[in-house]
Amino acid sequence: MRRTLFTSLSFLALVACSAQRARERESSGAPLEQGAAPAEAAQPTPTTPAAPQLSATQPPAAAQRPAWAEHHALASNANSYRLFIDPAPQSMPDNESFTIHVWPALSAHPEALAGGLELAVDAAMPEHGHGMNRVPRISRADDGHFVVEGMYFHMTGHWELYFDITLGAVTERAQCDVLLAD
């Protein structure tokens, strides 16, 4: 269902971009491309929701890899996103409040941060059937990455750390294991 919705939204965004380009060509007096339909035919129906807008910051020069790309990388379950997180899962403390920095990128363009996204973070101990005792606070830094404050693993053992990335009505999850020893 989610993949179908994402595909539908992607198609609508493509149609809207094509229609915008056709309107710009018509207003400038430039001829339509061979086989191109007039702008009116490409407009979505009024009942069709507008596609969410995804943006990416300007990528760095080709020879320069962004510093945040050196952090621990996680792929979302549908592989649309790549998250770079700091600290790495093996460096996360137990019984101590800590902060996680998350740099989201599109998997197709991991050199640029993806904008227009929302992030939710949670964790659970699957063998114990419970999660964290605290709700982390998530904010967006000026450079576009997320700051997740108030993370707290209150006991040692196996934790699963969840990152839910949302764009419009579509959410994908990236997750990793965190093993906290005594």
Domain ranges for the chain: 2-45, 67-180
Sign of the Cα pseudo-torsion (16, 18, 22, 25, in order): positive
Is pLDDT above 90 for 121? yes
Across the range 10-34, mean pLDDT stands at 45
**What's the Cα-to-Cα distance from 179 to each of 64, 116, 124, 132, rounded to whole Å?**
33, 32, 12, 15
Confidence of residue 54 (pLDDT cuts 50, 70, 90): low
Distance CA 55, CA 34 (A): 30
Across the range 42-51, mean pLDDT stands at 45
- Tell me which of 11-20, 63-72, 109-118, 160-169 is least confident: 11-20
* Amino acid 83: pLDDT: 97
Place of tokens 């209150």: 154
Nearest in space to 69 (alpha carbons), one of 29, 101, 111, 97? 111
Is pLDDT above 50 for 42? no
Distance CA 73, CA 99 (A): 17
Question: What superfamily in CATH does domain 67-180 come from?
Answer: Macroglobulin (MG2) domain (2.60.40.1930)
Nearest in space to 162 (alpha carbons), one of 140, 132, 129, 128? 132
Is-above-0.85 flag for pTM? no
Distance CA 130, CA 88 (A): 22
One-letter amino acid at 67 equals: A
Distance CA 115, CA 9 (A): 17
Place of tokens 């989201």: 104
Is pLDDT above 80 for 161? yes
Q: pLDDT: is 139 or 57 the higher one?
A: 139
Is pLDDT above 90 for 16? no
State pLDDT tens for residues 128-154: 999 999 999 999 999 999 999 999 999
Tell me the average pLDDT of the chain: 78
Confidence of residue 43 (pLDDT cuts 50, 70, 90): very low
Is pLDDT above 90 for 62? no
**What's the Cα-to-Cα distance from 9 to each of 14, 16, 113, 126, 173, rounded to whole Å?**
9, 10, 21, 34, 19
Q: Residue 48 carries which DSSP code?
A: S
